[in-house]
Structure formats: C-alpha cells, structure tokens
C-alpha cells in the first residue's frame, strides 16, 4: 500500500520545495500562460483566420480544377479514340472548308439572321 500512496502523492501537484523549485514553477506557469494567450489571440484574429481559410479554399479550388482538366483530357482522348476515322475525316474536311470560305459563310449567316428578324417583326405587327 505504501507504493500506491507514493504514486498518488507524486502525481498530485503540491507546492514546490525551496526557492529554485518555486522559481522554476513560476517560469513554467508564465510560459504556459503565454502560450494560452497566443492561442486565444490567434482565435480572435478574424483577419488572419479569414486569410488562412481563403488560402485553404484557393488550394482546394486549384486542386479541383487540376482534377477537372485531367478528367476532361482523359475524356477527350477516349472520345477521339472511339470516333471512327470517317467521322474524323468529315469533321476535318468541314473545318477546312469553313476556314477557306469564311467571308461567304459569314455573309450567309448574317443573311439568315436578318431573314429571321424580319420574319419576327412582320409576325409581331400582324398580331
């Protein structure tokens, strides 16, 4: 039983013996109090916490965007591999034709838009 009593009394903090031990205890208490005050100040510092949160969110968004770009590239590669060569050739041919005839195509598109607008105006006036 004496060993249990010794362990219990050693665990329980008591007043330090002597001046050097008391000074050490005071110093440890000051350090602990300083750390506690710093932690409280950090919790109260709204600007720093907001900046930390913004930094975390920026990192999260960048990571998510990078994953999205990777997935899009993977999907494009899969789509390209799944597309038949005849369709790829037709798409390339249509793109080349469009590049060669930009002005006439733009004029035709403009005429089509003007026709639709004119039709809508006539229709509106009849109502």
Same domain? For 68 and 35 the reply is: yes
Q: What is the pTM of this model?
A: 0.38
Question: 75 lies in a domain?
Answer: yes
- Four-point Cα dihedral 76, 78, 80, 86, nearest 10: -150
**What is the per-residue pLDDT for 13?**
66
Q: What is the mean pLDDT of each run of 10 residues along the chain (127 residues)?
A: 47 72 91 91 84 93 95 93 91 91 91 93 87
**What is the per-residue pLDDT for 3?**
47
Same domain? For 64 and 120 the reply is: no
**What is the per-residue pLDDT for 11?**
58
The enclosing H or E element of 92 equals helix 85-100
Q: Which domain holds residue 93?
A: 85-127
**What is the per-residue pLDDT for 4?**
47
Q: How many CB atoms lie within 10 A of CB 16?
A: 13
Same domain? For 21 and 55 the reply is: yes
Number of folded domains that form the chain: 2
């Amino acid at each position: 039983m004496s060993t249990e009593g010794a362990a219990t009394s050693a665990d329980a903090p008591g007043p330090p013996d002597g001046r050097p031990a008391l000074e050490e205890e005071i110093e440890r208490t000051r350090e602990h109090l300083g750390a506690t005050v710093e932690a409280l100040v950090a919790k109260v510092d709204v600007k720093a916490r907001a900046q930390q949160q913004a930094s975390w969110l920026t990192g999260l968004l960048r990571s998510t965007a990078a994953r999205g770009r990777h997935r899009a590239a993977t999907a494009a590669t899969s789509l390209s591999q799944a597309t038949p060569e005849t369709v790829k050739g037709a798409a390339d041919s249509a793109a080349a034709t469009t590049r060669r005839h930009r002005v006439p195509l733009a004029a035709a598109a403009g005429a089509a838009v003007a026709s639709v607008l004119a039709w809508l105006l006539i229709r509106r006036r009849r109502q």
